[in-house]
């Protein structure tokens, strides 16, 4: 076909020689020294983790499965192991404002000790205060105060009685108070008797009663003052008794935690509260532990509890926290509520720590996509990083929906290194849409999805396979199996000189191959097991491929692999589903007529063409004019279409096929239908590389095989794509036997020569192409159309 030879079979797939691997099995290999092929990303990660400055958090980006999170976790664990252990944190009751619990920082390992110490202390104080108020000394002092008060009261009351008796007035004490009664001859005068007396006697009786009433009121006033004095004396006695009981016990705790100023201040407030509520504590039998959920805690002893929020083991290093579900509550912490009389309420013992609390003083690892999917979580995280403080707020509170009794715990200073793991597209979106993002995440660790396929990396890949086998409990892989895995990893990378770093994908393949190796009683995983696993995977996902071939064989999908047609060519496209790509031929046709120099992209006109595809078609219009008719305007109307395409078409990988179809229609030169073509083209007719070249070739090979190979079929690809070839063994063997061909081209002339079997033709010094060449016929036809346009314009 033409005089251009097809590629040699050895150029279609690079194979790893098992002998070059210098080992029999991965069992003899050590652990990989570094993340395979990720030296740049790991270096950036280490730089970011080492910069303890505001804003130098890390975004680890790259495709899923490349081991981003594993690498981050490993580096975090290694670094955190040798770093200082952060402080413990606890919340205690605020005796001044109970709605705002106080936060106390303690050295690592001491928060739990404090909680236990306070629990024992309160229990001891309860018993000690009970004993103190039941002691003989206290009873005697209290009795002396009571007697002194009674003596004073009785003496004053005696004087009042004598005064009343001297005036013939009786003083009676009733449940309702004191009553004054007139007396005559030792008997109480009834009211009806008083009414019978003369007016002068009634006035005298009233005057006597009024005089005594005045003295009674004075007595009652003084009595109330004496009672207040007595109560103050009793309180002073109680406070003195409490202070004597409490002070020396609290002094021991003060001395133990004297360096923690916030705790000393809390103990001072606690002492004042104990003195004020000593008898409540002494009479309480309630446990100091927090109340169970949905039960009301007593207003007594629970306020003396210590809520341990965060505790660390001394010398344990910095914490590394992975939060899988980063909601607002999971990040910032939350406050539980309980039901009391139909109302939700809470107390400081219900404060629960979040991931930021647990990671404070260390590292927090988050999945960026999961974080952004949670309402308000991203904004709250940025707010905490910006302020350097961690305040517990609920999502309902942030949305203004709070309606229950809640608390405002004292914020905690925040010093944490955050590492987000996400895809490159997500990183780009954050940079573009959130101006604050780059202020916080200044370090980017970019994990590559492929690495060079050289001896060093092949050995590292083998060690990585051995590590996966040990981690998953799989049989080890022999040298031939590793060679087969390397070949497949190169195929995943779509590059003969590179291999994919998708660790998850190779791990899944090893697991399936292990099952097959065990099934045949082998002690190692071999190349045959890996191949069977790959074949099984292909069978599981071949429904769409088989349906496409069936539609082509039945004629439902019109694709021709024999004969020649004018203005019609087989382009190659791919369909993505899941992690797989399916290559399939797409028939492109071109039609021309006299017009105003328009090249119409029908896909674009009906809004089924993407921007990149439309760009490729516009390039064709520029190429036609500049290449064939530079001195005259184009006078044709050309239309291009993907036949039987019912979805959106995008990308420029079909632009060379479209150009060939267009030139065929203009020159009326038929194109071989057994040769498909893929590649983009620039305005000078040079071929440019495209993606998914292996899948595209394999899709057309399957179509040709289904309709019968004649030894004339094949695919034209850009020369720049030869390095990407990692075709299936069946295609390589077909090429070796001459039943299928792959040609590489550098420009449109080479492609035209292969598709037409004729010389494309080179431009001469006079600017003309040879008349019988394909290019010459194109030039002649365009000139004829221009002449016709000129004639049509004449009157």
Alpha carbons 760 and 754: distance in angstroms, whole number: 9
**For residue 724, what is the DSSP state?**
G
Q: Which residues pair with 182 in a beta bridge?
A: 169
* 329 within 8 A of 376, measured Cβ to Cβ: no
Going 689 to 690 to 693 to 699, the CA torsion angle's sign is negative
Helix or strand or coil: residue 561?
A: coil
Q: What are phi and psi of 38, to 5 degrees?
A: -120, 30
The conformation of residue 740, written as its DSSP 8-state character, comes to: S
Helical pair 527-540 and 503-519, crossing angle rounded to 10 deg: 110
Q: Report which of 502, 507, 496 is spatially closest to residue 452, judged by C-alpha positions.
A: 496
Give the pairing type, strands 320-323 and 363-367: parallel
d(CA 632, CA 636): 12
What torsion, rounded to 10 degrees, do the Cα atoms 33, 39, 41, 43 define? 90
Of residues 653, 655, 680, 773, which has the active-site annotation? Answer: 653
Catalytic, out of 350, 417, 498, 696: 696
Q: Is 653 a catalytic residue?
A: yes
Is the Cβ–Cβ distance between 609 and 720 less than 8 Å?
Answer: no
Residue 349 · residue 381 · CB < 8 Å:
no
Task: Specify the residue for token string 């002068």.
Answer: 200
Known catalytic residue: 471?
no
Contact 762, 769 (CB under 8 A): yes
Distance separating alpha carbons of residues 732 and 722, to the nearest angstrom: 14
H or E stretch at 641: strand 636-642
Rounded Cα gap, residues 415 and 400, in angstroms: 28
Give me the count of residues in the chain: 795
Cα 738 to its chain centre, rounded Å, is 53
| Neighbour tally for 527: CB within 10 Å | 19
Contact 526, 478 (CB under 8 A): yes
β-pair type (714-718, 675-677):
parallel
Continuous segment of H or E residues that includes residue 488: helix 479-493
Q: Under 8 Å CB-to-CB from 430, ≥6 apart: which residues? A: 59, 368, 437, 441
Local structure of 509: helix, strand or coil: helix
Centre a 10 Å sphere on the Cβ of residue 587 and count the other Cβ atoms it contains.
22
- Closest Cα partner for 313 from 113, 99, 24, 52? 113
Measured CA to CA, the distance from residue 158 to residue 152 in angstroms comes to 10
Catalytic residues: 653, 696
């Amino acid at each position: 076909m033409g005089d251009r030879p097809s590629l040699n079979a050895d150029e279609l797939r690079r194979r790893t020689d098992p002998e070059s691997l210098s080992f029999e099995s991965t069992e003899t290999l050590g652990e990989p020294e570094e993340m395979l092929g990720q030296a740049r990303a790991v270096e950036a990660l280490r730089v970011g983790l080492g910069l303890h400055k505001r804003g130098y958090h890390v975004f680890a980006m790259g495709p899923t499965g490349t081991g981003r999170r594993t690498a981050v976790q490993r580096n975090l664990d290694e670094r955190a192991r040798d770093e200082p252990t952060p402080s413990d944190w606890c919340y205690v009751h605020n005796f001044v404002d109970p709605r705002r619990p106080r936060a106390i920082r303690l050295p690592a390992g001491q928060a739990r000790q404090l909680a236990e110490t306070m629990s024992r202390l309160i229990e001891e104080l309860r018993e000690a205060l009970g004993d103190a108020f039941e002691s003989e000394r206290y009873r005697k002092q209290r009795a002396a105060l009571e007697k002194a008060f009674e003596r004073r009261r009785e003496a004053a009351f005696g004087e009042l009685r004598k005064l009343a008796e001297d005036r013939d007035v009786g003083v009676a004490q009733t449940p309702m108070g004191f009553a004054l009664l007139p007396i005559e001859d030792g008997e109480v005068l009834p009211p009806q008797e008083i009414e019978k007396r003369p007016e002068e006697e009634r006035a005298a009786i009233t005057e006597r009663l009024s005089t005594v009433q005045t003295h009674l009121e004075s007595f009652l006033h003084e009595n109330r003052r004496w009672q207040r004095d007595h109560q103050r004396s009793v309180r002073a006695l109680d406070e003195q008794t409490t202070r004597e009981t409490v002070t020396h016990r609290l002094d021991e705790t003060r001395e133990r935690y004297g360096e923690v100023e916030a705790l000393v201040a809390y103990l001072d407030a606690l002492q004042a509260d104990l003195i004020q509520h000593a008898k409540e504590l002494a009479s309480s039998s309630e446990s100091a532990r927090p109340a169970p959920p949905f039960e009301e805690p007593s207003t007594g002893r629970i306020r003396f509890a210590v809520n341990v929020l965060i505790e660390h083991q001394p010398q344990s290093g910095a914490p590394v926290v992975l939060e899988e579900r980063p909601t607002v509550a999971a990040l910032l912490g939350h406050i539980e509520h309980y039901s009391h009389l139909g109302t939700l309420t809470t107390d400081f013992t219900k404060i629960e720590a979040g991931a930021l609390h647990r990671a404070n003083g260390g590292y927090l690892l988050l999945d960026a996509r999961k974080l952004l999917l949670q309402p308000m979580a991203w904004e709250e995280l940025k707010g905490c990083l910006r302020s350097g403080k961690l305040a517990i707020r609920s999502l309902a509170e942030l949305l203004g929906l709070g309606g229950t009794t809640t608390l405002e715990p004292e914020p905690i200073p925040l010093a944490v290194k955050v590492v987000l793991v996400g895809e490159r597209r997500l990183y780009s979106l954050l940079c573009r849409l959130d101006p604050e993002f780059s202020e916080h995440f200044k370090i980017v660790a970019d994990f590559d999805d492929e690495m060079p396929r050289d001896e060093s990396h092949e050995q590292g890949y083998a060690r990585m396979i051995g590590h996966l086998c040990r981690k998953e409990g799989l049989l080890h892989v022999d040298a031939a199996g590793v060679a087969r895995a390397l070949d497949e990893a190169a195929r995943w990378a779509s590059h003969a000189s590179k291999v994919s770093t998708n660790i998850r994908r190779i791990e899944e393949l090893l697991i399936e191959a292990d099952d097959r190796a065990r099934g045949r009683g082998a002690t190692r995983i071999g190349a045959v097991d890996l191949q069977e696993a790959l074949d099984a995977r292909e069978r599981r996902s071949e429904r769409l491929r088989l349906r496409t071939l069936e539609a082509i064989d039945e004629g439902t999908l019109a694709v021709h692999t024999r004969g020649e047609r004018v203005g019609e060519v087989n382009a190659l496209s791919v369909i993505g589903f899941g992690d797989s790509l399916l290559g399939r031929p797409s028939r492109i046709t071109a039609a021309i007529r006299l017009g105003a120099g328009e090249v119409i992209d029908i896909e674009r006109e009906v809004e089924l063409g993407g921007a990149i595809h439309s760009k490729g078609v516009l390039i064709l219009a520029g190429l036609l004019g500049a290449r064939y008719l530079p001195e005259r305007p184009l006078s044709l109307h050309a239309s291009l279409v993907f036949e039987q395409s019912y979805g959106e078409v995008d990308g420029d990988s079909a632009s060379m096929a479209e150009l060939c179809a267009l030139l065929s229609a203009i020159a009326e030169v038929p194109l071989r239908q057994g040769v498909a073509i893929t590649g983009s083209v620039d305005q000078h007719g040079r071929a440019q590389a495209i993606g998914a070249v292996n899948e595209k070739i394999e899709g057309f090979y399957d179509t040709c095989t289904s309709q019968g190979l004649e030894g004339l079929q094949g695919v034209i690809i850009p020369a720049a794509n030869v390095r990407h070839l990692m075709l299936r063994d069946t295609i390589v063997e077909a090429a070796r036997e001459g039943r299928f061909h792959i040609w590489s081209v550098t420009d449109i002339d080479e492609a035209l020569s292969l598709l037409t079997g004729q010389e494309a033709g080179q431009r001469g010094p006079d600017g003309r192409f040879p008349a019988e060449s394909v290019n010459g016929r194109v030039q002649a036809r365009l000139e004829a159309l221009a002449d016709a346009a000129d004639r049509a314009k004449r009157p």
